[in-house]
Chain A
C-alpha cells in the first residue's frame, strides 16, 4: 500500500512540474508573440498595447518600406547561403564523427559544437578582429562564413541523431548486393538521414535569419540585416512597421514549421 501511494505521489509531482513548465513556457513564449501580433494589427499611429482598433495598414505600409525590405532580403540571402554551407559541412562532419570511434573525432565533435556554448557576441567580436588582422573587411561571404560557424551545430546534432538510428546492416546489405560506396551513400544513407539533415537545415536557417551578435560585427554598412534594422527602428522612432515585420516573420515561421512537421516530422528528428 505504502509503495503504491509513493508511486502515485511521484506521478503527481511529475505532472505538476511538467504542468508548471508548460505554463511558464506559454506565459513567456506564446504570450509575447500574441502581443506582438495584436500590436501589429493596430489602427493607431504608435506602438501601443492593447491597440485602440484593428487594421492591416501597417502590413500594407511594409510594402513601401524600402530599407526594411532591403534588410529583409539581405537576411534571406545570408540565411540561404548559411543554410547551404552548414548543411554540407554539418552532414560531412556528422558522417565522419559517426563512423569513427577515435577520441580525436570526439574532440572534433566538441569543437563543432562549441559555437553553441560560447557566447556568440565574443565569437563575433573575435571574428571581426581576426578578419581585420588578415587585412579583410566585412562582406557578405564573410558574414555567411560567420553565420555558418554558429549554425553548423544544429545540422550536426540532428544528422548525428539520424545516423545513430541508421542500421549498419542496411549498409552491409547494400554492399553485399554489389553497390559501391557512392551508390550506397546516394541510395541508402542519404534518403534515410535526409529528414535529419532537413530538420537541421531548418533550424540553421532560422538561427541565421534572426542572428544578431555575429551580424552586429561582421555586417558592413551596405549590408544591413533585418534583426539589427528592426532593433534600430524601435530604438529611434518606435516605428509600428517593426511590429508588422515581426508579425510577418512569426506567421512565416509558423507556416514553415507546420510544413516541415507535415513532410519531414521535424520534432521527430530532434531527439
Chain B
C-alpha cells in the first residue's frame, strides 16, 4: 500500500438545517493528520449529518469544511478525496469482489494492468485474496466489510469515513474487525472519522472522541478523558454506567444529598449555595466500608450480578434510590449476599462529578 500522506480536516462553525429543524449547530472540530476521531452519540444527534457534510453529500447551511487548510465546500466527495465505508457496505451486488475493488480505479482511468495489480494488492491487504471472483451476496458480513474497506482504500483517499461500520456484525467478529481496521489505519496513517453510537467502539478505537447530543458537540477529548472527566451529565451518562443522585450544593467542598448524606466533593465549577445539583458516581468508584460514618451510604443488597472479572451489586439506599456498585472479583473470596446491609463511600471526592440539575 502506498503510504498516503496524512491530511488534516477542519470544521469551522458548521451549522446545518433541514427546513425548520437544526440538525447540527455550530460544530468546531480540528482533526490532525493521521488521527482517528469518533463521532459518538445516540441516533438523531446529528453525527451522520455531520459525516455527510464532511464527505460532501450535503452542503452545510453555515460554516466551512477545510481539507489541509483549503476550503472544500464546493467540492464533490470524489474531489475531496474521501473514502467512505457505508453502514450497509454498499457493495455493488451485480459485480464480483474484484470488480467492486476495481470500480474506483476504472473511474480514475487507470490502465488495465495497474488495476489488476492494485486489486490483488488491496484484497491481500484485507485477507480476501481468494474471494476476488465471488459475488457480495456469497460473503459473510465481515467479509463484505473487508471488501468495502479494500474498495475505498484502493483509490488512496485522503480521509477515511466510517459510518457505523461494525453495527451489522456480531460481537466477536466486531472486535476482530475493530482491531483489523485500527491496524490498517495505523499502517497507512490515514486520517479517519468514525461515526458510531457504540461507546465501547469509540473508546477502543479512537484517538479522540467527540460526544454529540442534539446537534452539538458536548465534549471532545481522549477516551480516558471522556470517561474520567466528563464535562456534562449527558457525556457522563452516555459513556459508561453511572449512578446519579440529586442534592443541593452546600459550599465548595460538599453536597447535601436528598436522602440525608452529606457528600464531600471537589468540583471544577463552584455553584451558589443551595443550588440544585446532581452528583454522578461510577459503580467502580464506590467502595465498601467496614462501618457507617459521615459521608457514607447505608444500603441493602438487592441483586448480585457476578460478571466474571467483576461483581456488580444493585443496592437500595435506606429511604433513597438504588445504586450500582462494581467490585473486582476475588477468586478466593465469597460473594456478598442479597439482603446484607453494607456501607458505601466514593473512592475520593474527585470521583464525584457535580453537574447542575436540569
Q: Which residue of B lies closest to A177 (CB)?
A: B104
Which residues of B are at the interface with A, using a C-beta cutoff of 8 A? 55, 57, 76-78, 82-84, 86-88, 90, 92-94, 103-104, 107-108, 151-152, 155
CB < 8 Å neighbour of A173 from B76, B86, B94: B86
A191 & B94 in contact (Cβ 8 Å cutoff)? yes
A177 & B88 in contact (Cβ 8 Å cutoff)? no
CB < 8 Å neighbour of B57 from A172, A177, A191: A172
CB < 8 Å neighbour of B90 from A167, A180, A191: A167
The residues of B that contact A175 with a CB separation of less than 8 Å are 76-78
The answer to whether residues A192 and B78 also contact, given A172-B57, A176-B83, A178-B155 and a CB cut-off of 8 A, is: no
Which residues of A are at the interface with B, using a C-beta cutoff of 8 A? 167, 169-170, 172-180, 183, 187-188, 191-192
A174 to B108 CA separation, bound complex (whole angstroms): 12
What are the 10 tightest A-B residue pairs by CB atom distance, in nearest-first order?
A177-B104, A178-B107, A169-B90, A173-B90, A176-B77, A179-B107, A178-B78, A169-B86, A176-B84, A191-B94
A-B contact pairs, 5 of them (CB 8 A): A169-B87, A170-B92, A173-B84, A176-B77, A183-B107
The residues of A that contact B87 with a CB separation of less than 8 Å are 169
The answer to whether residues A169 and B151 also contact, given A177-B104, A192-B93 and a CB cut-off of 8 A, is: no
B90 & A172 in contact (Cβ 8 Å cutoff)? yes
The residues of A that contact B76 with a CB separation of less than 8 Å are 175
B86 & A192 in contact (Cβ 8 Å cutoff)? no
A167 to B87 CA separation, bound complex (whole angstroms): 12
CB < 8 Å neighbour of B103 from A167, A169, A172, A177: A177
The answer to whether residues A179 and B82 also contact, given A169-B88, A170-B92, A192-B93 and a CB cut-off of 8 A, is: no
The residues of B that contact A176 with a CB separation of less than 8 Å are 55, 77-78, 82-84, 152
Within the complex, the shortest CB–CB distance from B49 to chain A, in Å, comes to 14
Q: Which residue of B lies closest to A191 (CB)?
A: B94
A125 to B108 CA separation, bound complex (whole angstroms): 55
The answer to whether residues A179 and B103 also contact, given A188-B92, A192-B94 and a CB cut-off of 8 A, is: yes
The residues of B that contact A169 with a CB separation of less than 8 Å are 86-88, 90
Given A169-B87, A179-B107: 16 more A-B contacts, CB < 8 Å: A169-B90, A172-B77, A173-B151, A174-B92, A174-B103, A174-B107, A175-B76, A175-B77, A175-B78, A176-B83, A177-B152, A178-B78, A178-B155, A179-B103, A179-B104, A180-B107
The residues of A that contact B108 with a CB separation of less than 8 Å are 178
Within the complex, the shortest CB–CB distance from B162 to chain A, in Å, comes to 13
The residues of B that contact A187 with a CB separation of less than 8 Å are 103
B107 & A177 in contact (Cβ 8 Å cutoff)? yes
The residues of A that contact B82 with a CB separation of less than 8 Å are 176
B151 & A177 in contact (Cβ 8 Å cutoff)? yes
Q: Which residue of B lies closest to A194 (CB)?
A: B94
Within the complex, the shortest CB–CB distance from B16 to chain A, in Å, comes to 17
The residues of A that contact B86 with a CB separation of less than 8 Å are 169, 172-173
The residues of A that contact B151 with a CB separation of less than 8 Å are 173, 177
The residues of A that contact B93 with a CB separation of less than 8 Å are 170, 192
CB < 8 Å neighbour of B155 from A167, A177, A192: A177
A177 to B95 CA separation, bound complex (whole angstroms): 15
Within the complex, the shortest CB–CB distance from B191 to chain A, in Å, comes to 16
A203 to B151 CA separation, bound complex (whole angstroms): 38
The residues of B that contact A188 with a CB separation of less than 8 Å are 92
A167 to B86 CA separation, bound complex (whole angstroms): 11
The residues of A that contact B92 with a CB separation of less than 8 Å are 170, 173-174, 188
- In the complex, which of the residues B55, B92, B151 has the most CB atoms of chain A within 10 Å of its own CB atom? B92
A178 & B104 in contact (Cβ 8 Å cutoff)? yes
A192 to B84 CA separation, bound complex (whole angstroms): 21
Within the complex, the shortest CB–CB distance from A265 to chain B, in Å, comes to 14
The residues of A that contact B88 with a CB separation of less than 8 Å are 167, 169
A167 to B94 CA separation, bound complex (whole angstroms): 13
The residues of A that contact B155 with a CB separation of less than 8 Å are 177-178
Within the complex, the shortest CB–CB distance from A177 to chain B, in Å, comes to 3
- In the complex, which of the residues B84, B86, B90, B104 has the most CB atoms of chain A within 10 Å of its own CB atom? B90
A121 to B88 CA separation, bound complex (whole angstroms): 49
Q: Which residue of A lies closest to B108 (CB)?
A: A178
The residues of B that contact A183 with a CB separation of less than 8 Å are 107
A192 to B86 CA separation, bound complex (whole angstroms): 19
A219 to B152 CA separation, bound complex (whole angstroms): 57
A180 to B106 CA separation, bound complex (whole angstroms): 11
Q: Which residue of A lies closest to B101 (CB)?
A: A177
A188 to B87 CA separation, bound complex (whole angstroms): 19
B107 & A172 in contact (Cβ 8 Å cutoff)? no
A179 to B100 CA separation, bound complex (whole angstroms): 13
Q: Which residue of A lies closest to B83 (CB)?
A: A176
A179 to B109 CA separation, bound complex (whole angstroms): 10
Within the complex, the shortest CB–CB distance from B210 to chain A, in Å, comes to 22
Within the complex, the shortest CB–CB distance from B183 to chain A, in Å, comes to 23
A167 to B91 CA separation, bound complex (whole angstroms): 10
The residues of A that contact B107 with a CB separation of less than 8 Å are 174, 177-180, 183
A192 to B93 CA separation, bound complex (whole angstroms): 8
B78 & A177 in contact (Cβ 8 Å cutoff)? yes
